[in-house]
């Protein structure tokens, strides 16, 4: 699978242009603020129908421009060529696959799998429990559309139950408890399975890149840790009702689950330096890509946005050597910080200056 070309029109500071990308390796070299990340954002938007920056439509299109679009020509593993177009028109977003409008992003996200590495990934390691859950939810959603359905349904039920709590309409709470318990336990079971399988890859990758021998793994602590069925979860919700009333929110469930990185039987992140946390986030992303390939047999496209800056030379080399199993990779670099070994890089190199991408 490869993205053959990307066309941008009125997207951020990018020139209205078509960039040829028919290669396994594409590097974008330029100073900060020139448009490198903006170009990666266009690729991610084509793959998922939104921005990895959580940007609004007004932020994605060029300032003071009414309409905008991104278009990509893509070669699938079946050797079929397809076109995806992301359009912003009159303040609304439209997505087209082979000129057919996509109504739900779910129809799009399994067409061109893509994984982005950026500086915000450190939040998956040191951020809030919600930030950490987001990483593992993404990992599951990449290959399991039913999990995406479960998450959507759970969030909707949770929102309605919390509304009842705030409005003190307690007589209707029981109507949501059984549904929330069923969907919530499905999410919990999938997360438990994910962690077991993820830990078949992550510790080994960590050891190869860091050259450390200590035991490191991802750990999961569910909010309903003593529940093994939806009936158990429903009892938990009922027993927590008085607490929920006091706080006017649902205090137990998968939305309260926690994830950790454990090293030598302790929470590694509590004592890790910023550099170590950054490295863990990179390794998590690499493991995510490898995990996706193992589960589906398909190699994703990788987007790596200035993420190697803080690694020393040896760790950079080991990271690149062990980040494999992708169909295509886009890298951004600052001038003078090209990290591939001499003679080891065969790909396209573009310079980015004031939104213009040129060879």
Question: What is the mean predicted confidence (pLDDT) over 41-45?
Answer: 95
Does position 340 have pLDDT exceeding 70, yes or no?
no
Mean pLDDT lowest among 12-26, 45-59, 168-182, 236-250: 45-59
How much is the mean pLDDT over the chain?
Answer: 93
pLDDT tens-digit map of 286-337:
999 999 999 999 999 999 998 887 788 888 888 888 887 899 999 998 888 7
Domains and CATH numbers, the chain: 1-113+298-359 (3.40.50.300), 123-295 (1.20.1050.90)
pLDDT for position 147: 95
pLDDT for position 323: 83
Does position 280 have pLDDT exceeding 70, yes or no?
yes
Torsion over CA of 47, 48, 53 and 58, rounded to 10 degrees? 100
pTM: 0.92
Does position 343 have pLDDT exceeding 90, yes or no?
no
Does position 346 have pLDDT exceeding 80, yes or no?
no
Burial 41-65 (b: 16+ CB within 10 A, else e): bbbbbbbbbbbbbeeeeeebbbeee
Q: Which two tokens stand for residue 316?
A: 């950079």
pLDDT for position 322: 83
pLDDT for position 342: 54
Question: What is the mean predicted confidence (pLDDT) over 3-11?
Answer: 97
How far are the Cα atoms of 131, 133, 269 from residue 259, in angstroms, in the given order?
10, 7, 11
Residue 11 bridge partners (DSSP) = 61
């Amino acid at each position: 699978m490869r993205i053959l070309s990307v066309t941008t029109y009125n997207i951020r500071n990018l020139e209205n242009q078509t960039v040829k990308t028919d290669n396994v390796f594409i590097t974008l070299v330029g100073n900060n603020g020139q448009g490198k990340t903006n170009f990666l954002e266009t690729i991610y938007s084509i793959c998922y129908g939104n921005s990895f920056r959580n940007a609004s439509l007004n932020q994605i299109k060029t300032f003071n421009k009414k309409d905008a679009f991104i278009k990509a020509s893509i070669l699938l593993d079946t050797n079929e060529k397809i076109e995806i177009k992301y359009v912003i028109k009159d303040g609304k977003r439209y997505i087209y696959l082979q000129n057919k409008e996509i109504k739900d992003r779910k129809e799009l996200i399994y067409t061109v799998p893509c994984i982005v590495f950026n500086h915000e990934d450190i939040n998956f390691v040191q951020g809030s429990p919600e930030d950490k859950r987001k990483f593992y939810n993404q990992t599951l959603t990449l290959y399991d559309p039913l999990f995406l359905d479960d998450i959507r349904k759970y969030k909707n039920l949770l929102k309605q139950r919390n509304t009842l709590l705030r409005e003190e309409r307690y007589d209707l709470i029981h109507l949501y408890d059984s549904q929330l318990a069923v969907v919530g336990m499905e999410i919990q079971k999938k997360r438990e399975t994910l962690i077991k399988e993820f830990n078949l890859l992550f510790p080994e990758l960590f050891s190869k890149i860091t050259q450390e021998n200590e035991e490191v793994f991802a750990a999961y602590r569910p909010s309903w840790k003593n529940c093994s069925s939806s009936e158990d979860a429903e009892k938990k919700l009922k027993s927590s009702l008085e607490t929920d009333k006091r706080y006017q929110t649902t205090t137990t469930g998968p939305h309260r689950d926690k994830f950790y990185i454990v090293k030598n039987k302790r929470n590694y992140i509590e004592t890790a330096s910023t550099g170590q946390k950054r490295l863990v986030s990179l390794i998590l992303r690499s493991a995510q890509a490898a995990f996706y390939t193992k589960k589906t047999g398909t190699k994703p496209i990788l987007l790596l946005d200035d993420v190697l800056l803080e690694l020393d030379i040896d760790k950079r080399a080991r990271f690149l050597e062990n980040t494999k199993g992708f169909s295509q990779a886009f890298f951004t670099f600052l001038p003078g910080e090209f990290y591939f070994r001499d003679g080891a890089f065969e790909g396209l190199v573009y310079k980015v200056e004031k939104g213009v991408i040129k060879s």
